[in-house]
Amino acid sequence: MIATIESTIRDLFHANRLRRVRKNARPKILYFIVRYPTFSETYMHEEIRSLRKDYDVKIITYNDCDDARRESFPYEVVKYNDWCLVYGAIENIDTTFSRQPQRKFLRRVDAIIREFEPDILHAHYFGLSLLLEKLSNRHKIPFTVRTHSMDVLSEPENKLRRISEAANSSWCKRIIAFPECRQRLLDSGLSAEKVVSCWPVINFERFYKPEPKSPTRKILCAGPTITKKAHSEFIDLAARMKDKDLVFDLYGKGPHLEATEKYNNEMGNPVTIKFADPDDMPEVYPNYDWLVYTADTKINKVGLPVAIAEAQASGLGLCWQELPGRRQEQLDFLGGGGYLYKTLNEVEELLSSPYPEEMRQAGFAAAKRCDIEQHKHLLTDVWSGSLRYA
């Protein structure tokens, strides 16, 4: 009993103390990502790109990725051979990390932590709070997590409740979530003092093209080729408008690419399917007049795509599939810089008219809200508050 009380007091002391950083040294941040450097996880990469200016960053990823971006930051793969903390069902996940593959993973990460000596642990995806809470207790290091959309939008309540318990640890200094997702996390038991709202991450200056440009009569769709993106509907749109002297290009790759190509072929190839690395996209968008972002309304799991903010920053017109029960969330994200549509008939009409200049200007302002340089302080403020300099 006495030992338990002493341990509790010691943990409380550690939770409230400041991490000590040598004077003139750059604080060290140890990142945890499920599948880095997957091309579609753009805002993880852009967050790191920005923070590396002021912090020493080391990246651990616990799965290989099939669709890697062309250039990545240095990272280390430490395989986690158990149920995925992000994509796995909570019923299958041992949150005590007692299984042999989990213990092996922890031993390898323990060694990295001892060698790197991070000041902060940081992860992408809410499920990794389970891991960081474990590591923080072992090593007495604060942690933060940036959630995306699928890790809140797609998860059942029992999993969110269990992850929220972990994130309520005194070691957790901040959870960042999309505005609409914040309330769901609060409803799942996450402490209000832990979670702040934030839009997705883009590098605004890399895409910002405010200059007026001549129409190109080209329509763009972009994103990973997965079922929820409903790229077949973009192909349907192109087939319906084949006599309108418009060009339709789909930029993407992923597990559904072969099926998408097959459907495009069956429809007479109205769309050119290609791929551009994320670092090349700032030069791709200006070649188009519109971005049409399709989504499967039955699956209803498309969150807040960074392609929309990137296209807005590039001055494109926007057409985005309205999703059931999520109209206001989508309108808030568009910020007046784009249209929601329910049917392809509506899209045909919209593409037949010039994009209003007032909507283009609203798009610039909406995209600016996503600029990592504008909101990275939501991380760095709490990181600084957990550090002191010797």
Q: Which residue has the tokens 């050119």?
A: 272
Do 99 and 115 belong to one domain? Answer: yes
Give residue 163's pLDDT band: very low, low, confident or very high (50, 70, 90).
very high
Write out the DSSP string of 93-139. --TT--SHHHHHHHHHHHHHHHHH--SEEEEESGGGHHHHHHHHHHH
Instruction: Examine the pLDDT at 389 and tell me if it is beyond 80.
Output: no
Q: State both tokens at 324.
A: 């059931």
Pick the closest to residue 169 from 197, 132, 196, 198 (CA basis). 132
Same domain (yes/no): 180, 77: yes
Q: What is the pLDDT of residues 45-82, one digit of tens each?
A: 999 999 999 999 999 999 988 899 999 999 999 999 99
Distance CA(257)–CA(265), nearest Å, equals 12
pLDDT tens by residue, 252-308:
999 999 999 999 999 999 999 999 999 999 999 999 999 999 999 999 999 999 999
Same domain, 303 and 287: yes
- Same domain? For 14 and 83 the reply is yes
Say how many domains are in the chain.
2
Model pLDDT, residue 9: 45
Q: 131 and 234 share a domain?
A: no
pLDDT of residue 13: 45
The amino acid that residue 300 corresponds to is: N
Q: Judge if 54 and 199 occupy the same domain.
A: yes
Q: What is the spatial distance between Cα 50 and Cα 70, in angstroms, rounded to a whole number?
A: 18
CATH of the domain at 26: 3.40.50.2000
Angle at 290 between CA 287 and CA 293, to 5 degrees: 120
The span from the CA of 349 to the CA of 341, in Å, is 11
Q: Do both 79 and 217 map to the same domain?
A: no
How confident is the model at residue 221, as a pLDDT?
A: 98
Note down the domain range covering 384: 2-203+372-389
Instruction: Examine the domain organization and report whether 119 and 232 are in the same domain.
Output: no
167 and 217 assigned to the same domain: no
If asked whether residues 80 and 109 sit together in one domain, one would say yes
Same domain (yes/no): 179, 224: no
